[in-house]
């Protein structure tokens, strides 16, 4: 079994990346091979509206034709057994690189067709991990519902978890961030974030059980 994990955060060793590493360990402990990609290291673009993925008889029908660093990852996703995507939430949305991934993953699976709407190569179970400075779960309810619903439609059954009220800086005194209770943030990091990491681990183990 193979699981592809995508880090949509520009930070490679902070909240989102750590959640993904825990999820990856859960996958490995369930017997899967994992590949983790940091897409902020790559030159990636969103959908270019070329419609090659909809061209009847075209060599890219049903898959993204845009040739950049994201293309082989998209191909690997469809060859895998499960997908896990992680992103911090910026202004009630995913990061720009994560959005690029979503656009190209979803749109290439959509057909403007009376008989069928979805032309995905196959169905994959998906885990989505959001990290956010928002204080409580469900603060970005609309985003969570949109991503879960759309991913389920075009890729496969999707489960979303989130880590809230995350620690953003090693040293808050260096930044213009006086609105935060730093000690409360640090306590939460010590007491709650390990539980978030455990939930990510369990998501990784559980995800392969949902494979259709």
pLDDT in tens, 74-92: 999 999 999 999 999 999 9
* pLDDT reading at 151 higher than 80: yes
Tracing tokens 């895998």 back to the chain, one arrives at: 80
In percent, the amount of the chain with pLDDT more than 90 equals 70
Q: How many domains does the chain have?
A: 1
CA 11, CA 8: separation in Å to the nearest integer? Answer: 9
Query: Distance from first CA to last CA of the chain, Å, rounded?
Result: 13
- Residue 176, domain extent: 2-210
The pTM for the full model equals: 0.93
The per-residue pLDDT for 210 is 62
| CATH number of the domain to which 90 belongs | 3.40.50.360
DSSP state of 39: G
212 pLDDT more than 60: no
Structure confidence by residue, pLDDT tens digits, 38-79: 999 999 999 999 999 999 988 989 889 999 999 999 999 999
Give residue 158's pLDDT band: very low, low, confident or very high (50, 70, 90): very high
State yes or no: pLDDT of 128 exceeds 70: yes
Distances (CA, A) of 182 to 73, 165, 176, 187: 38, 11, 12, 9
């Amino acid at each position: 079994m193979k699981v592809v994990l995508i880090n949509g955060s520009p930070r490679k060793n902070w909240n989102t990346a750590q959640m993904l590493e825990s999820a990856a360990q859960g996958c490995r402990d369930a017997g899967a091979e994992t590949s983790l990609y940091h897409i902020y290291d790559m030159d990636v673009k969103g959908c270019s509206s070329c419609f090659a993925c909809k061209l009847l008889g075209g060599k890219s029908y049903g898959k993204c034709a845009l040739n950049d660093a994201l293309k082989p990852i998209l191909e690997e996703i469809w060859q895998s057994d499960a997908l896990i995507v992680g992103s911090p939430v910026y202004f009630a949305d995913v990061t720009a690189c994560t959005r690029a991934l979503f656009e190209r993953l979803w749109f290439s699976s959509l057909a403007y067709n009376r008989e069928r709407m979805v032309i995905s190569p196959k169905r994959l179970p998906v885990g989505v991990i959001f990290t956010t400075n928002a204080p409580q779960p469900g603060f970005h309810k609309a985003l969570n519902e949109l991503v879960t619903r759309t991913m389920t439609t075009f890729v496969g059954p999707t489960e979303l978890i989130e880590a809230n009220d995350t620690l953003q800086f090693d040293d808050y005194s260096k930044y213009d961030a006086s609105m935060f209770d730093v000690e409360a943030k640090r306590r939460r990091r010590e007491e709650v974030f390990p539980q978030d990491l455990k939930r990510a681990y369990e998501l990784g183990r559980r995800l392969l059980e949902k494979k259709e």
